[in-house]
Homo-oligomer: A and B are copies of this chain.
Amino acid sequence: MLKKKDKYVVAVVGATGAVGKEMIKTLEEREFPVKNIRLFASERSIGKTLDFMGHHQKVEVLTDKVFDGIDIALFSAGGDRSLQFAPAAAKAGCIVIDNSSAWRMDPEVPLVVPEVNPDDLEWHKGIIANPNCSTIQMVVVLKPIYDAVGIKRVVVTTFQSVSGTGMKAIEELMKQTRDLLSFQDIKTEVYPHQIAFNCLPHIDSFMEDGYTKEEHKMVNETRKILGDDAVQLTATTVRVPVFRGHSESLNIETGKKILADELRALLTVAPGIKVFDAPAKNIYPLQTDCSGMDDVYVGRIREDNSIANGINMWITADNLRKGAALNAVQIAEELIKRAK
């Protein structure tokens, strides 16, 4: 457990990445009680500095020995680095909040979305996992529905932006788009196919059963976060030529009937959600609108009469904020609330 202090020593591991940078920005914006910040990245980034609260801060090399005196470490440096360094950090008394998929399904590691299952923080052993971006925004919306009327089954199709892959993918979309508009040949390096003006039904690697890892994550992580393996889910995850923000088309079979108006009212007062649903005025969630925003936007709420208790909706969130950096910082804030 975290010891109660006025301010905390915080580390960001993977500080130069798309999510790492967003973590630093989020700590600043939310006035997180930082006594001292430490920024870690791979050897390539040594010598760089990043700004935090108006100060230049050196980027340091990550080793097993750096964690003494660090209270909380936000990791977003890939699964391999998390597997390698998180146990050493935890041993040194640092609490790791890890954004990779490495620890998420470990039964010893809580997988937490603060609006959904904050109490799972009670049983952490030094490592806490941040869920997958596409899972976080979905589960924020599913939770109030689950509590109110139950959830039998979810069919989800995602529209995920390239920033979920990282900085190089953002550059690839930019470069391919420029090259195509000037009638030049394009290069594909990050993705196996052209991403500019194209949609790829392929996120993370393929498994034996034909699903991608991303699709498995959405099923398994949602069940772990809701604490209910009886919830049925199936996912199709798709990369779209958008820089920032993930959208999801959700079809939900609830346990009991809920009307669209009742659902709108329910979600309007739920934490972390903004209902953005006035189609007659062309108001519905958009990736361009959610950039830099904290909430999950929900719209296109309508009853699905193809089954007895069906609901369709369209949800959008900033994958770098609520889908990664913000959720990690919110976990840290929740830890502080519970510190003794």
The residues of A with any CB-CB pair to B shorter than 8 Å are: 153-155, 157, 159, 173-174, 177-178, 181, 192-194, 197-202, 206, 209-212, 232-234, 236, 238, 240-243, 247, 249, 251, 260, 279-280, 282, 284-288, 299-307, 310, 312, 314
A299-B201 contact in complex given A206-B280, A234-B304, A238-B249, C-beta closer than 8 Å: yes
User: How many copies of the chain does the oligomer comprise?
Assistant: 2
What is the CA–CA distance of A206 and B284 in the complex, to the nearest angstrom?
Answer: 12
Excluding A159-B240, A210-B279, 18 further A-B contacts by CB distance (< 8 Å) are A153-B307, A159-B159, A178-B181, A193-B282, A198-B287, A199-B240, A199-B242, A199-B247, A199-B286, A200-B286, A201-B247, A201-B284, A209-B302, A210-B260, A211-B302, A234-B312, A236-B251, A238-B247
Q: Are A202 and B157 in contact (CB under 8 A)?
A: no
Query: Can you name 29 A-B pairs with beta carbons within 8 Å?
Result: A153-B307, A154-B306, A155-B251, A157-B236, A159-B238, A173-B197, A177-B177, A193-B286, A193-B288, A194-B286, A197-B241, A197-B287, A199-B242, A199-B286, A201-B249, A201-B314, A206-B279, A209-B302, A210-B303, A212-B279, A232-B306, A232-B307, A234-B251, A234-B305, A234-B312, A236-B314, A238-B247, A240-B240, A241-B241
